[in-house]
Amino acid sequence: MNLFKLKNYFGMINIMIVDDHKLFSDGLAALLENEPEIRVTKQIYDSRNAMSEISQQMPDLVLIDFNMPYINGLELSKQLLLEYPEIKILILSMYDEERFIRDFQEAGTKGYLIKTASIEEVKKTIVAIHGGENVFAIFDKRNLHKEDLFIKKLLLSPREEEVIKLIVNGLSTRQIAENLNISYYTAETHKKNIYTKLGIKGGERALLSQLLNEE
């Protein structure tokens, strides 16, 4: 049976919230619970649990934060839509640049709202998307968050992300090369590219400090 075809007997819109910021998620959930046509069925604080939790309840709509550790909102949206093409996703984000909004449009999400939106805007958007509309915030063509570490990390290649994980685990350049089956020179080049893309001066210690502060 297709879970998306099941009808809610009370005519409510069942939603789930995926956001690692507990204070924001709890506040949003509390405000939405005051809306008679909306029911928050689950809050997920760790994006790694989102796929399994959503597959068990299959809500009408999922609200997803963009900037999350482990799996960011764009990657999570792609994974969900690949597995469940009919699912409706509304992105909540602090970033209003054109490129990010277009990325989510191309991924197949149904809406994108800036986190400064009022609860009334959020409610209207949820209802509109549930009714079949697409709702995307007006974007800003300027790159206002170019110094944001989360945005910089989006520039990293999958291999560079692997290298960062190995650095965090304490591996030396030689050990990284052996672990990834690449040359010492290639491993060193990956590290230099990482420092350049993240704007880090000071090598591994500075990188680890940046990542620690991000947490």
* DSSP code at position 186: H
What's the pTM value of the predicted model, to 2 decimals? 0.65
- Choose the final residue of a domain: 88, 106, 136: 136
Q: Which CATH number does the domain housing residue 206 bear?
A: 1.10.10.10
Question: CATH number of the domain that 42 lies in?
Answer: 3.40.50.2300
3-state secondary structure of 155: coil
Collapsed DSSP state (helix, strand, coil) of residue 133 = coil
Residue 142 included in any domain: no
Q: Which of 136, 163, 181 is the last residue of a domain?
A: 136
Intra-chain end-to-end CA distance of the chain, in Å: 41
pLDDT tens column, 77-92: 999 999 999 999 999 9
Which domain-ending residue is among 84, 113, 136?
Answer: 136
Share the mean pLDDT of the chain.
Answer: 82
- Residues 125 and 157 both lie in one domain: no
95 close to 151: Cβ distance less than 8 angstroms: yes
Q: Are strands 135-136 and 88-93 parallel, antiparallel or unpaired?
A: unpaired
The CA angle 103-129-85, to the nearest 5 degrees, is 60
- Domain containing 170 equals 149-214
Residues 118, 175 within the same domain: no
φ/ψ of 151, rounded to 5, equals -70, -40
Domains of the chain: total? 2
Verify that 113 and 83 share a domain, yes or no. Answer: yes
pLDDT digit string, tens, across residues 144-184: 444 455 545 656 677 888 888 888 888 888 998 999 898 98
